[in-house]
């Protein structure tokens, strides 16, 4: 389940404000920005080399590596105190805003479930809005959110709450094609930004609270034809099928509701997989339940599985592995290796070899009471008495996890991994009566309360040294904060808090360098970009997008 640290949300447009389809700009006369940056279409090659374009934010994670690191260095520890709000774009929604905007050559593209808006990135004034009508009665575990877009070759790609994939003309907002990913009546929905690789649009799917069998799909970017599907619950005859008792695989969940990362040098996708269904009762699904709560490495050309690593076998705590994998080439035990870092919802930070999937290191990064560590292959040594019970069992992390979907960051300058972490316990209940799968209905097998019984929950931004898993510093923030993070070449780490602040920390020390009250919970990661030679920080806060520049 996507964590409920995010509020639920509804694409709730105020009547009369948003018309269906394309709407003209407010005065139709906003001039196009001066393009001092590389212009022309955003190609696969440009995304692949996004590190070289710090003025743009071309893909959800900033780079294919998932590092969320911007080389934009104009905002530094020395001048960040001069950061001021430049503009605010009001989204006029009561949905939780979790979007990561894209910025390409002076134009910002962002989502409000399920609308797409193009803005002048320098002024926050709109070029166009595309509104997608969201049907009522959808099976959504957690409300209506959307976390962003993909952009390539003049096209924007949006996955909708009713599980469709759309392509829009990036200059006009006109719909180019629309294709069904899955049937929402089966409990499927889409909330994540797609990923474009070469000529394909890659997308996962949500629906893990409805027993909807997960998958990762690739579509032809030119016309929306589906090219391959990787099932995250293996069917009969496939490897891993034996990890599901009886027919439990049919309603096994294992959704893929966040975006993955991509390594062009190995030509591999890395994608996190969510919880098995039903969430809190594993009696009927004996076995490890592959590939739930795993990261899978997939060939983007064919959809073939190269390797997998499962963080939480036979999960009964809803600890989806839907954190964006962070890909880094760095020395490990004296040898330069292609690594994958992830801080998992189950409370452990992992280092894997991303060529082979080999487990290299695992260490707690937040409070956990369910495992006596990991064995030498990375499998948790589960403590007895931590599975959900009818009367309730108290375990850390809570169901929403030690972290969740909100993206971490990595700075090549410090060599450290940064995550918004949570120390706290929750209570897990299993159902004592028979539960059964019904198409499109909630399939939970129990319940969970994330209120810490001793009211001692703590959120903190933490810096982790990846070769040891050691905590280098932490910065406590309001409990249950849920922003992602951004690391910059200016030596800063940006984030936000649930009590309505945007802040900058020194990436080396964790010392606070700047904060501003924006009055709305920050439930999304910040980005950095530049246009007309001015550097910006932008982040969704409350119901708005807020952009900052140095005064």
Please report, as ranges, the residues that interact with another protein according to CB under 8 A. 4-10, 12, 14-15, 90, 92-96, 136-144, 161, 399-400, 429, 447-451, 476-482, 497-501, 503, 512, 515, 517, 519-521, 523, 542-543
- Residues 61/259, Cβ–Cβ less than 8 Å: yes
Q: How far is the CB of 497 from another protein (least distance, A)?
A: 5
C-beta closer to another protein: residue 425 or 515: 515
Residue whose CB is less far from another protein, 301 or 499: 499
Six-digit token string for 277: 């269904």
- Tokens, residue 81: 């105190």
Q: Which of 95, 318, 320, 423 is catalytic?
A: 318
CB of 266 to another protein, least distance (A): 37
Judged by beta carbon, residue 78 or residue 441, the one nearer another protein is 441
Distance of CA 223 to the CA centre of its chain: 26
Structure tokens at 390: 């009818």
User: Residue 14: exposed, middle, or buried by beta-carbon count in 10 A (0-12, 13-18, 19+)?
Assistant: exposed
Question: Please, are residues 460 and 411 in contact by the beta-carbon 8 Å criterion?
Answer: no
**Choice between 133 and 500, CB closer to another protein:** 500
Query: How far apart, in whole angstroms, are the C-alpha atoms of residue 416 and residue 248?
Result: 40
In DSSP terms, 476 is beta-bridged to 460
- Contact, 50 vs 67, CB < 8 A? no
Q: Angle at Cα 388 formed by Cα 309 and Cα 143, nearest 5°?
A: 75
Query: And the tokens for 416?
Result: 């450290």
Nearest to 505 by CA among 461, 539, 551, 550: 461
**Distance between CA 38 and CA 463 in Å, rounded?**
34
CB 253 within 8 A of CB 55: no
As measured in angstroms, the least distance from the Cβ of 429 to another protein is 8
Least distance (Å) between residue 524 CB and another protein:
12
* DSSP per position, 408-449: -EEETTTTEEEEEEEE--EEEEE-SS-----TTS---SEEEE
Q: What's the min distance (Å) between Cβ of 11 and another protein?
A: 9
Least gap, CB of 453 to another protein (angstroms): 12
Q: Residue 318 catalytic?
A: yes
Q: Between 262 and 501, name the residue whose CB sits nearer to another protein.
A: 501
d(CA 62, CA 342): 17
Sign of CA dihedral 142, 403, 294, 355: positive
Distance of closest approach, residue 81 Cβ to another protein, in angstroms = 12
- On whether the CB atoms of residues 510 and 526 are closer than 8 A, the answer is no
Distance of closest approach, residue 168 Cβ to another protein, in angstroms: 23
Three-state DSSP class for residue 112: strand
The 3-class SS string of 457-500 reads: CEEEEEEEECCCCEEEEEEEECCCCCCCCEEECCCEEEEECCCC
| Nearer CB in complex with another protein: 398/466 | 398
The residues carrying an active-site annotation are 318
């Amino acid at each position: 389940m996507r964590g409920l640290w995010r509020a639920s949300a509804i694409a709730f447009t105020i009547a009369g404000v948003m018309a269906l389809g394309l709407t003209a700009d407010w005065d139709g006369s906003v001039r196009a920005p001066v393009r001092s940056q590389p212009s022309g279409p955003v190609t696969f090659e440009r995304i692949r080399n996004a590190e070289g374009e710090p003025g743009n934010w071309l893909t959800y994670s900033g780079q294919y590596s998932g590092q969320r690191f911007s080389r934009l260095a104009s905002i530094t520890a020395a001048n960040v105190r001069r950061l001021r709000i430049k503009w605010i774009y009001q989204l006029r929604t009561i949905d939780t805003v979790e979007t990561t905007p894209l910025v390409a050559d002076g134009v910002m593209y962002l989502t409000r479930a399920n609308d797409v808006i193009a803005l002048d990135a320098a002024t926050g004034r709109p070029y166009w809005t595309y509104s997608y009508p969201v049907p009522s009665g959808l099976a959504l575990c957690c409300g209506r959110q959307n976390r962003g877009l993909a952009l390539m070759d003049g096209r924007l790609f949006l996955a909708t709450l009713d599980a469709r994939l759309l392509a829009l003309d990036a200059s006009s907002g006109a719909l180019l094609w629309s294709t069904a990913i899955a049937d929402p009546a089966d409990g499927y929905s889409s909330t994540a930004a797609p990923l474009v690789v070469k000529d394909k649009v890659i997308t996962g799917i949500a629906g893990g609270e409805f027993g909807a069998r997960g998958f990762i799909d690739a579509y032809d970017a030119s016309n929306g034809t589906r090219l391959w599907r990787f099932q995250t619950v293996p069917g009969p005859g496939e490897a891993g099928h034996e990890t599901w008792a009886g027919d439990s695989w049919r309603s096994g969940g294992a959704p893929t509701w966040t975006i993955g990362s991509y390594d062009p040098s190995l030509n591999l996708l890395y994608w996190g997989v969510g919880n098995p269904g039903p969430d809190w009762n594993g009696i009927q699904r004996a076995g490890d339940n592959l590939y739930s709560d795993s990261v899978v490495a997939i060939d983007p050309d064919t959809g073939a599985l190269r390797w997998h690593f499962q963080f939480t076998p036979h999960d009964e705590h809803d600890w989806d592995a839907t954190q964006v994998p962070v890909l880094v080439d760095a020395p490990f035990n004296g040898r330069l290796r292609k690594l994958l870092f992830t801080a998992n919802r189950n409370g452990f930070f992992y280092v894997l070899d991303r060529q082979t999937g080999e487990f290299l290191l695992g260490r707690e990064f937040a409070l956990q009471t369910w495992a006596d560590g990991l064995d030498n292959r990375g499998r948790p040594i589960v403590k007895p008495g931590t599975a959900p019970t009818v009367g309730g069992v108290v375990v850390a992390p809570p169901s929403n996890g030690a972290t969740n979907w909100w993206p971490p960051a990595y700075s090549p300058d410090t060599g450290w991994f940064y995550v918004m972490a949570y120390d706290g316990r929750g209570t897990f209940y299993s159902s004592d009566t028979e539960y059964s799968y019904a198409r499109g209905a909630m399939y939970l097998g129990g319940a969970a309360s994330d209120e810490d019984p001793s009211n001692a929950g703590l959120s903190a931004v933490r810096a982790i040294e990846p070769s040891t898993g050691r905590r280098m510093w932490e910065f406590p923030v309001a409990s249950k904060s849920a922003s992602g993070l951004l690391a910059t070449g200016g030596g800063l780490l940006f984030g936000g808090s649930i009590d309505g602040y945007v802040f900058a920390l020194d990436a080396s020390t964790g010392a606070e360098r700047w904060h501003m009250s924006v009055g709305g919970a920050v439930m999304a990661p910040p980005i950095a970009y530049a246009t007309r030679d001015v550097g910006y920080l932008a982040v969704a806060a409350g119901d708005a997008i807020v952009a900052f520049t140095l005064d």
